[in-house]
């Protein structure tokens, strides 16, 4: 009888150790990290992505932003004019907004009136401008990864993007890998 | 803590974030927290209603002690103690 009990306690110990291993594995697989796939190039949506990112970074959460498709417009620097584009790339470049100040609203855009009004209200109510937010984001160490594929698709060149301290270029697998280890994943 | 107790607390650093809306006050608080010692009290002045909810959340995550808030004329003072 006593022997039986001894065995069962040892077995329990083995099970507890196995559980401890699993828990530490789970803990390590979910970092205090926020991953956002920023796809929309609408002013309101890029704004949401940046506000959430800055709040997270202020709370010491690591932030990784994956900029893809329309959102790339927000990263374009209006003061830079890249050379050597083909005709379709040039057309795309002209049709798409250049920089945060030219982004449209997803609702109530009203041929550009909407963003002007929002801009006025943001200033009046002391909300940081998107431009300032990108600057703060850079200082907070928020990483921006540019989707290489959509950059090529839209004919954007690396030279036309803003000077941002933690900007890199990668593919979808990078987002998948980053998002996989993040405790928060968002798609905007 | 009651409002009277909070008002009489020794404040090591006062952060005036009344000129910024969300997430400005949180960002200001984050920037200032490095300048005070553990156990020091910091007050954050904000006219943004959300700050009253955001600072306790931030403190909870970082392990700082959230002490409470008092309403002043048109703004709030949020108190916290550094871990």
Provide the residue ranges of all domains of chain B, joining segments of one domain with +.
Answer: 3-81
Range of the domain at A145: 31-187
Which is nearest to B63 in space by CA: A32, A49, A140?
Answer: A32
pLDDT classification of A4: cutoffs 50, 70, 90: low
Determine the distance in angstroms separating the CA of A178 from the nearest CA of chain B, rounded to an integer. 22
| Contacts with A, B 43-72, CB within 8 Å | 54, 57-58, 61-62
Secondary structure in 3-state letters for A86-113: CHHHHHHHHHCCCCHHHCCCCCCCHHHH
Which is catalytic among the residues B1, B3, B21, B22?
Answer: B22
pLDDT in tens, B34-48: 999 999 999 999 999
Q: Does the beta-carbon distance from A58 to B24 stay under 8 Å?
A: no
Query: Into how many domains does chain A fold?
Result: 1
Determine the distance in angstroms separating the CA of A8 from the nearest CA of chain B, rounded to an integer. 40
Q: Does the beta-carbon distance from B62 to A59 stay under 8 Å?
A: yes
Can you tell me the ipTM of this complex? 0.85
* Superfamily of B3-81 according to CATH: TusA-like domain (3.30.110.40)
B22 is catalytic: yes
Domain containing A69 — which CATH number? 3.40.1260.10
All residues of chain A having their beta carbon less than 8 Å from the beta carbon of residue B30 are 58-60
Q: Does the beta-carbon distance from A126 to B23 stay under 8 Å?
A: no
Which is nearest to B25 in space by CA: B34, B14, B36?
Answer: B14
pLDDT in tens, B60-83: 999 999 999 999 999 999 999 999
Q: What residues contact residue A39 under an 8 Å CB cut-off, 6+ apart?
A: A68, A69, A70, A71, A187, A188
How high is the pLDDT of residue A52? 97
pLDDT in tens, A72-110: 999 999 999 888 888 988 888 889 999 999 999 999 999
pTM of the predicted protein model: 0.85
């Amino acid at each position: 009888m006593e022997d039986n009990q001894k065995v069962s306690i040892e077995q329990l110990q083995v099970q507890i150790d196995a559980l401890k291993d699993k828990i530490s594995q789970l803990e390590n697989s979910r970092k205090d990290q926020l991953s956002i796939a920023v796809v929309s190039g609408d002013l309101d949506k890029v704004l949401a992505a940046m506000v959430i990112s800055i709040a997270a970074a202020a709370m010491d959460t690591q932030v990784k932003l994956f900029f893809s498709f329309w959102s790339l417009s927000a990263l374009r620097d209006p003061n830079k004019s890249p050379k050597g584009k083909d005709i379709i790339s040039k057309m795309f470049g002209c049709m798409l907004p250049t920089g945060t100040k030219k982004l449209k609203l997803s609702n109530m855009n009203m041929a550009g009136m909407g963003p002007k009004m929002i801009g006025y209200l943001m200033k009046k109510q002391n909300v940081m401008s998107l431009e300032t937010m990108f600057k703060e984001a850079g200082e907070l160490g928020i990483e921006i990864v540019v989707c290489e594929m959509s950059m090529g698709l839209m004919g954007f060149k690396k030279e036309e993007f803003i000077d941002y301290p933690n900007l890199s270029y990668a593919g979808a697998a990078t987002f998948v890998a980053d998002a996989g280890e993040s405790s928060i994943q968002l798609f905007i | 803590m009651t409002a009277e107790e909070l008002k009489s607390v020794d404040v090591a650093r006062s952060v005036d974030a009344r000129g910024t809306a969300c997430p400005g006050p949180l960002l200001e608080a984050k920037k200032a927290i490095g300048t005070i010692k553990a156990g020091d009290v910091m007050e954050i002045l904000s006219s943004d209603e959300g700050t009253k909810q955001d600072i306790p959340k931030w403190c909870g995550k970082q392990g700082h002690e959230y002490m409470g808030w008092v309403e002043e004329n048109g703004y709030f003072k949020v108190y916290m103690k550094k871990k």
